[in-house]
């Protein structure tokens, strides 16, 4: 299997054979089933994930002990808990597979060794992550102040690929509504 991480980076720059070899050497393929946990809340995030197939969800446990979904990430996106990964500190957030998925994992240590060896790779990955973060913020902000029906309509228009592939309970959590309310909304829209 070709390395999807390398193929994705090739969209932004040409890579030398040494760079490709080094990236291949530090990536580990993980095959996940829906619900598998990649990062537990309360731990320090020690890996950066590149999603080859499937969808991951960023979750946080609320004060009632219920997982609340903050973000979905899909193919050709990086996923980590940035503050925890960058500063190597514990986090309250977790990462789970929202459906069956394949990811390439890179440890914090290996990634920083790659950056030392090839500093331009750091610049490229940092730029990609920054742009994705800005897009995530813009997307989440678009839902603010909207009633639940409008949030759901926007979700299915702006993220239809995710809407078709994740559980409705995940969609409800992400949109901040109960599964029962989501069922009513869906019934009223059909």
Read off the pLDDT of residues 14-71 as tens digits, 9 standing for 90 and up.
Answer: 999 999 999 999 999 999 999 999 999 999 999 999 999 999 999 998 888 888 999 9
Q: What is the percentage of the chain residues whose pLDDT exceeds 90? A: 86
CA torsion through residues 179, 101, 90, 8, sign: negative
pLDDT value of position 1: 43
Q: Given 3.40.50.300, 3.40.50.150, 2.60.120.10, 1.10.260.30, which CATH number is that of 4-144? A: 2.60.120.10
Interior/surface letters 121-148, b for 16+ CB within 10 angstroms, e for the rest = beeebeebbeeeeeebeeeeeebeeeeb
Average pLDDT over residues 113-134: 94
Both tokens assigned to 76 = 């050709």
Average pLDDT over residues 74-99: 95
What's the rounded Cα separation, in Å, for the pair 185 and 174? 15
Both tokens assigned to 180 = 């029962």
User: CB burial class (10 A; 0-12, 13-18, 19+) of residue 97?
Assistant: buried
Domains of the chain by residue range = 4-144, 146-190
Average pLDDT value for the chain: 93
Hunting for tokens 């102040």 — which residue is that? Answer: 145
pLDDT value of position 61: 87
pLDDT value of position 20: 95
pLDDT value of position 84: 95
Hunting for tokens 């050709």 — which residue is that? Answer: 76
Nearest CA to 19 out of 141, 97, 174, 125 is that of 125
SS3 state at 39: strand
pLDDT value of position 121: 95
């Amino acid at each position: 299997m070709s390395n999807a991480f390398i193929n994705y980076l090739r969209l932004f720059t040409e890579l030398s054979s040494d760079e490709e070899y080094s990236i291949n050497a530090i990536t580990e393929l993980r095959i996940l089933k829906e619900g598998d946990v990649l990062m537990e809340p309360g731990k320090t995030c020690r890996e950066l994930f590149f999603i080859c197939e499937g969808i991951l969800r960023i979750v946080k446990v609320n004060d009632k002990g219920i997982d609340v979904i903050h973000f979905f990430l899909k193919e050709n996106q990086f996923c980590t808990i940035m503050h925890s990964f960058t500063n190597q500190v514990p986090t309250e957030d977790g990462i789970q597979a929202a459906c069956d998925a394949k990811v390439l994992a890179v440890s914090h240590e290996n990634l920083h060794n790659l950056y030392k060896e090839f500093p331009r790779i750091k610049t490229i990955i940092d730029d990609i992550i920054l742009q994705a973060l800005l897009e995530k913020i813009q997307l989440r902000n678009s839902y603010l102040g909207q009633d639940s029906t409008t949030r759901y309509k926007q979700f299915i228009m702006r993220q239809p690929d995710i809407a078709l592939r994740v559980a409705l309970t995940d969609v409800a959590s992400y949109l901040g509504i109960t599964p029962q309310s989501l069922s009513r909304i869906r019934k009223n829209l059909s």
